[in-house]
Copies of this chain bind each other. A is one copy, B any other.
């Protein structure tokens, strides 16, 4: 299973002394891009072709506080995908292996004008073949 590693940064902490709850959205995004890269899908390349996986919903549940300098791991799973819609699930683990955040993001494929679109068939096939069957 794919893990995106992230060192919790000083600027991510707030005056409670823990990582601010907004940080998870950025961790999810970075983990998603690296997850795709890991399976041979270049998100930048998809964008260069004129398509975006626009985020239409994001959800995070915070189970335990996360502290400065912890090395966390973000597990990513592509739960649903049909070329038009995608859902990713995430689980963030701290160094002790405890689950600290759980969440998901939902996406719609859009074109450069931000209108609903569909990924080209070759990219859809590549994602189905490389991710959905292996992960």
Contacts and interface: CB of A to CB of B under 8 A. Distances in A.
Interface residues of A, number: 36
A9 B30 contact: yes
A14 B16 contact: no
| Among all A-B residue pairs, the 8 with the closest Cβ atoms | A22-B25, A13-B15, A21-B55, A44-B69, A15-B17, A57-B61, A59-B59, A13-B14
Interface in A19-36: 20-22, 25-26, 29-30, 33-34
Contacts of A60: 57-59
A43 interface: yes
Contacts of A54: 16, 62
Nearest to A105: B21
Q: Is the interface of A mostly helix, strand, loop or mixed?
A: mixed
Interface string A114-125: 100000000000
A115 to B, nearest CB: 11
A62 B56 contact: yes
A21 to B, nearest CB: 4
A57 B68 contact: no
Contacts of A61: 56-57
